Amino acid sequence: MNNGYIKTGIGNLEVIEDRGIIRELNFTDKKVKKSNASPIIKRCVKQLEEYFAGKRKIFDLPVKISGTPFQQKVLKEVMKVGYGETASYQDIAKRIGNIKAVRAVGAANRQNKVPLISPCHRIIGKDMSVKGYAGKQRVKTFLITLENPKIKLKTPFSILKRRIVKLHYNV
């Protein structure tokens, strides 16, 4: 296995590759190290840099979607949600043919080893709320607004702000 790192506006990302296939992308506190990265890691890092610069909307990388067959099915469906778009956990459950699997869809997203490539950050609550994300809610909010600055999300801060306004102004 080989690894490489990239600095982003939301922390460092570690890219892990094995036999020419991207296996993991991890947000990490590790310092970015200079490494003798493999060609696929260099390609991945370049594409990630383009993504964070707003120049790349689709990743073109060999990637391993790991997990149970159900998790793989969910994450492959998540990969169909386009740049700047969102879908709810319920939407994904419907698309895979199991409307009752909303929580299981969330659990599959939490097991995603290749966030950004399988863009689980684009999956939100049906009420536009930012729900759990393996990379933390602030990261999820950042990524969604990077892709679509005009989107109106319900974040813990926006909900708290509305409650404070309501209490303060008695509305």
Is residue 134 within 8 Å of residue 115, measured between CB atoms?
Answer: yes
pLDDT at 152: 84
Prediction pTM value: 0.85
Which of these is catalytic: 120, 124, 130, 143?
Answer: 120
**pLDDT (0 to 100) of residue 42:** 93
CATH 1.10.10.10 spans which residues of the chain?
69-156
**Residue-by-residue DSSP string for 117-171:** TS-GGGEE-TTSB----TT-HHHHHHHHHHH-TT---B-HHHHHHHHHHHHHHT-
Catalytic residue list contains 120: yes
d(CA 32, CA 13): 8
pLDDT value of position 164 = 42
**Do 151 and 144 contact (CB within 8 A), yes or no?**
yes
**Chain centroid to CA 149:** 16
Q: Which pLDDT belongs to residue 68? A: 97
- Supply the pLDDT for residue 98: 96
pLDDT given for residue 156 in this prediction:
61
How would you write the pLDDT of the chain (171 residues) with one tens digit per residue? Answer: 888 888 888 888 999 999 999 999 988 887 777 766 899 999 999 999 999 999 999 999 999 999 999 999 999 999 999 999 999 999 999 999 999 999 999 999 999 999 999 999 999 999 888 876 655 788 888 899 999 988 888 766 554 444 444 454 444
Q: What topology does CATH give the domain 69-156?
A: Arc Repressor Mutant, subunit A (1.10.10)
